[in-house]
Structure 1
Amino acid sequence: MVKALLVAAVSSGQGKTTVTAALARKLVRLGKRVRVFKCGPDFIDPMLLERASGATVRSLDLWMVGQELCSQQLSQAAAEADVILIEGVMGLYDGTPSSADLARAFGVPVMAVIDASAMAQTAGALVHGLRDYGPVEMAGVIANRVASEGHAKMVAASLRDIPLFGTLPRQAKSLPERHLGLVLPGEVTDIDQLLDNLADQLVFDETAWDSLRSVDIVTTAPAAPQEPLLAGKTIAIARDAAFMFIYPANLDTLRTLGATLKFFSPLADDAVPAEADAVYLPGGYPELHAEQLTQAATWQTSIRAVHAAGTPIVAECGGMMALADTLADQKGAVWNMAGLLPGAVAMQPRLAGLGPQGLSTPQGILRGHTFHYSRLDTKVEPAAYTVKHPSAIQGEALYSVGSLTASYFHAYFPSNPAAVAALFLRSET
C-alpha cells in the first residue's frame, strides 16, 4: 500500500508540471521517499521531475508501455517509496488511452490542477465536471496562480465536497520554455533554487495529505527472462545537449538484451567509439547546436566511416536530422550535417508531427511516438511507414540507407525487445 496520486488538469497549460515538481520537492523535504512517473510520451518533463524528486522518472502509458509493464513499474515504486506521483498528459480525458484511463486501471485517485487566475466560484463547476464526466475518484484540488488568501477561500467554497488540497501563487519567474517544451533543467542555472521556491510557496494541507487513502498496486507475474540477443555487442550512444531525448527504459532494454553501452558526445567532437558494434543516435536539439555539429569534423568523419563499414546505425528524430546533408535552424541559417541521409532538414514554425505510432516489424509491432517541428526533404524512398494510433492512418517514414535506419519515430524499446535487437544487429545479407 502506498499513497499515490495522478496529477491532472482540464488541458495543457494549467501548470501540471510546475505543481507536480513543487509537490515532489516539498514531500522530499518532508522526508518522504517520492517516485514520480509521467503519463504518455515525454522526454523533457521527466528531466525536471527527476530533478525535483531525486529519482529517475519513467513513462506510464496503457498503449505504448502496456498495462503489464505499467503495473510492474508501479509495483516496484510502491515497494521503494512512500509516495507515487503521476503527472498526466494534456487534459484528463484527452487521448486514447487517456490519463483518466490510467488512473482507473490502477485505482489511483486524481489530484486536479486548475489555473485559478481568471476564475473564482466557477472552479467548482470545472472540477465537478472533471470528476463526474468519467467518472474518476477525485482526491482534491491544487489551485495554481492564486491571487490571495481571499481568492483561495472562494475557490475552496466552490468545490463543495471536494477538498482544496493546496494553492500555488502566480510565479514571478516561471520555468522557461522553447518549441519542444520546457528548457532542460541543466540549462537553468538556478533550477534547484527555483524548485525550492516552488515548494516553499505551495500552501500544502498536511492534514489533508495524511487523510488520503493508500493505493494497493496489484502486481502482475514477472515477465519471462529476455533472451540476450545483443550479448557481446557494444552499442555507442550519443548523449549530450544535442542528443538527450531517450527513455531510461530504452537503456534498460538494451542492457537486458545483453549489450554493453558506451556513451559519447558529438558536440564535444568525440569520434564514435572504436569498439562499437552499433550506434544509437537519439533525438534532442541538434537545431540549437547546428554550428557546433558542423564544426565537429572528428565526429562527422567517424560516423561516415562507421556507416561505410556497414555498422548498424539507428537514428531517431534529432539523430536523423544530424545525419542529413543540411539542417536549417529557426533563423533560416543552413548548416552542413554528416550527410549519410541525402536530403535537407528545415525547422518549421508549427508542429510537424505529434502522437503515438507503431512500426510493423517481422518481430511484431514496435510502439512509440513522434513529436517534431522540422521537416525532411529527401528523394530517398521510405522503406516503411509507422501507423498512427488510434486512427491507423499512415505515420512517419522510415528510411534505410545502407546500414542506417532513420526516422522521426521515437521507439519505446520495451514494447518489442526482439524488434529492437534486430535494428542493432548487422544484416547477414
Structure 2
Amino acid sequence: MIRSRRFLAVSAVSALLAIAVSACGGNSSGGTVGGGGGSKLIIGVDLPLQGASKDASEATVNAMQLYLEQVGHKAGNYDVELKVYDNSTAAKGAWDDATCAKNAQDHVANPGEVAVMGTFNSGCAKIEVPVLNSDPSGPMLMVSHASTNPGLTKAWDPGEPEKFYPNGVRNFARVIGTDDYQGVAAARFAAQDLGVKRCYVLNDNQTYGQGVAKVFAEEAPKQGVTVVGSEPWDLKQPNYVALFTSIKALNPDCIYLSGVFDNNGGQLVRDKVRVLGDNNAVKLMVPDGFSGYPEFNNLAESQGAYLTFSGLTAETLRQNGGAGANLLDAYKAKYGADPASSYALYGVEALQVILEGIAKSDGTRKGVRDQVFAGVTIPAEQSVVGKEVKIDPQTGDASVRDISVMQIKDSKETFVKPWPL
C-alpha cells in the first residue's frame, strides 16, 4: 500500500537543493546552451515542491536519485545528474502557471540539460511542452510519470494534441495511463462493485479534474448510474456547506470529486461528510489527484473513501517482486518508510525511459528525443513497474494501462483490487 507517513531525507529542502547544486555543477561539461552533447548530461526534474503535493514530489525525487545512484549515474557512455525545478509557489501551495512557463524557458536555456522528467500536473505540462517543442536545437524531451490528461497525446479538446507540438513532432511521452481509462474504470467500479445508482460529480475546474469528470460522467449512465448533477467547485470558498445542502436535495448515493487535493480538497471532504453523512451512507470516490496526500489520508472524514490510481500501487509492486520490489526495499532501508506516493515508482520508470534514450543517443537533446520516439522499450525484468514498458513512437503513450482501486482505511491507502481495462 502507499504509506502516508511524512518523511524527510535529512532535511527535504536541503536534500533537494543539494541535488540541484550537484546537477548545476555539471553544466560546464554539458556543451553549449540547448545543445547537450557533452560527457555529463542533466535531466531536469519538474515537480511541485510546496503545498499538499510536497510529500509525493519529495518521494519521487528521492526515488529517482536512489535509482541513479544504483546505476552509477550512468547512461551508456554518459554521466548523468538531476537538476530539480519547483513549479509551485508558497502563496498558491500548488503548481503555478507562471512558474511552469518560467521553468520551461529555464530548461531550454540550461546548458547540458537534455530532457525533463515531469510534470506532475497535466495543466503544467500543457504550458511547458510547447516551449520545449520549440527549442531551436531540436524538440526537448519530456517524460511524465503523472500527467494523465488525454489531450497531451491524442484527440481530446479542440486543437489537441497538435497545438502542443508547433514543430510538428512529438516530444512528450508518459509511462502511465490516461484519464479516459481512469474515468471509465471508476464509473464501472461504482456501479458494479458499490451498487451506486445516483452520483453527483464535482471537478476542480482544472485540466486534470475536468478530463476525469468528463469521462466518468459519460460512462456512468452506460453502467446504470444516473449523474444527478455535475459542476466545478470553487477552490477559494471557505466552506461547501451550501453546495452540499443543494446536492442533498437530489438524494445522491455517491459523490465523485474529480481534481487534485491541493485545490481545497480537505474542506470539500469535511463538508461532504458534515452535510451528506459518512462514506458508508453516501459513497465518496476520488481519482489519483487525491493519492499520496497524508493530509487527506489522515482526515476522519476520508475514512472509507475509494480512490482510483492510474498504475500499480507500491504494495502490488512489492508483492510482484523484481526490480520494483528491490527498489522499494532499498528506499525503505534508506528513508525508513515506503515512498509517500506510488507516483514515485513511476517517476523512476520515466527516468528509465530517459536514460535508455540517452544511452542510445549522441548526447544532444534532439538525439535523446529521437531515440525515445524511435520506440524505447524497458524490458519487464528491468522495469520498476514490473512490466515491459514500450513508448509508442506515434503518440508518446506507454503500453501499460493499469488501474488500481484503493480505499482509505486506518489513515492509509489500502489496495482493494486491480480494475481490468
More helix by share: 2
More strand by share: 1
Which structure's relative contact order is higher, taking Cα pairs within 8 Å and 6+ residues apart?
2
Same fold (TM over 0.5): no
TM-score, length basis structure 1: 0.31
**Higher Cα radius of gyration:** 1
